[in-house]
Structure 1
Amino acid sequence: MKQPTLAPRLPLLAALAVATALTACGRQHDDELTAGQKLDNAVADAKQAARDTKKDAQQAMNDAEMSASRAADTTARVSTDMAITAKVNAALVADDKLKATQINVDTREGQVTLTGKAPDSQSRERASTLASAVDGVKQVNNQLIVDNKNS
């Protein structure tokens, strides 16, 4: 991630320094300060404002990095789930008894849910076995209904 530079903030810092100097000039005890002391105070105030701005920018950057990291994690998880779903679908289509059935596969965080109809109880169990064999599958929730018309 590209680090922000201080250059775009220089006009802001210069304006802060001028504003601080003008404010310092209006202080009640200004009569007691020399011009050099007033300038030193203005510079010190500007430096503090710059430190505060830098701290705020760093915090904003840290927040953005955390958000980007969370987004990357979510994208990776969704991509993995999509790959698992595709592999389970391919395994089901390759099976002679299951390829003609309409089985819906949904994957969330490695947990596969099978819904739809199976032609018989053996095919229903075979669908679970095929899904479980796919790399990345943590659990299979088989909600297939045996279609008694075909039994």
Structure 2
Amino acid sequence: MNTSHTKNTPLLRTATLAAAVALALGLAACDKNDDRTAGQKLDSAIAKTEATAQDAKVKTEAAAHNAKVDMQDAAQEARAKTEAAAHDARVKTEEMTQEAREKMHATSEQTKADTREVTANAKAAVEDAGITARVNAGLAKDSELSAIRIDVDTKDHVVTLSGPVKNAVAKERATQIAQGVEGVTRVVNNLTINPGA
């Protein structure tokens, strides 16, 4: 058996007891006006620690709640902005589509009007050319006018005669031939009398 270990055990106990007494005296000396016992002081310290922990828990929960509310507000704001942007994009697209439709319609109407005008002009030109040809044929059939060069010009169904003729009778006869052609609305006789023609 180890005798040194046995001898040290009572010494160790005495030292531990002395340290506990010194600690108790130290605690008592810290606050001489405090009549509470060490147990009461310990209970008070535990209560303060629990109160501080509870306060920290409440603050943490409040901060978490505020963060959650802030995130929900930010998400709602982002949704609202996205919906507003989508709505604006739809409105602009609809406006651009409507504007394009209106421009296409206007262009289509203008094209139709231009086509009608071109068709009418072409038809009038063909009709005028036909009248000129028929007047020339009528003048060529007349024995007194066939040898004379008479210029016939037709515009909008109005026939203009120009050039020289031998006499007033020939001038009048050219007017009658031109007026007798279908489609002629008026004859402008600019023929000049030239007996040598």
TM-score by length of 2: 0.57
| Structure 2 equivalent of residue 83 of structure 1 | 130
- 2:140 counterpart of 1:93: yes
CA RMSD of superposed structures (Å): 1.8
Q: How many residues align?
A: 121
* Runs of 4+ displaced beyond 3 Å: none
State the 1:40 CA deviation.
Answer: 3.1
Amino acid in structure 1 at the alignment position of 2:120: D
Q: Provide the residue aligned with 2:172 in structure 1.
A: 125
2:49 corresponds in structure 1 to: none
* Offset at residue 95 of structure 1 (A): 0.5
Which deviations, in whole Å up to 9, do the C-alpha atoms of 1:93-147 show, x marking residues without a partner?
Answer: 0101110000000111111111111122211111110000001111111111222
Please identify the structure whose Cα radius of gyration is greater: 2
Report the Cα distance in structure 2 between the residues aligned to 1:47 and 1:149, rounded to whole angstroms: 79
Structure 2 Cα separation of the partners of residues 52 and 131 of structure 1? 54
Matched ranges for 1:33-44 at <5 A:
33-44=80-91
Q: Which has the higher contact order (CA 8 A, sep 6+)?
A: 1
| Distance in 2 of aligned mates of 1:45 and 1:95 | 74
Q: CA shift at 1:31, angstroms? A: 5.0
- Between the two proteins, what is the percent identity of the paired residues? 25
Question: 2:146 & 2:191 partners in 1: Cα distance?
Answer: 14
Contact 2:163–2:190 (Cα < 8 Å) also in 1? yes
Q: Residue 37 of structure 1: CA displacement?
A: 4.1
* Range with greater deviation from structure 2 (111-120 or 30-39): 30-39
* Structure 2 residues without counterparts, runs of 5 or longer: 1-76
Point out the structure with the larger helix share: 2
Instruction: Please report the TM-score for the alignment, with normalisation by the length of structure 1.
Output: 0.73
Partner in structure 2 of residue 115 of structure 1: 162
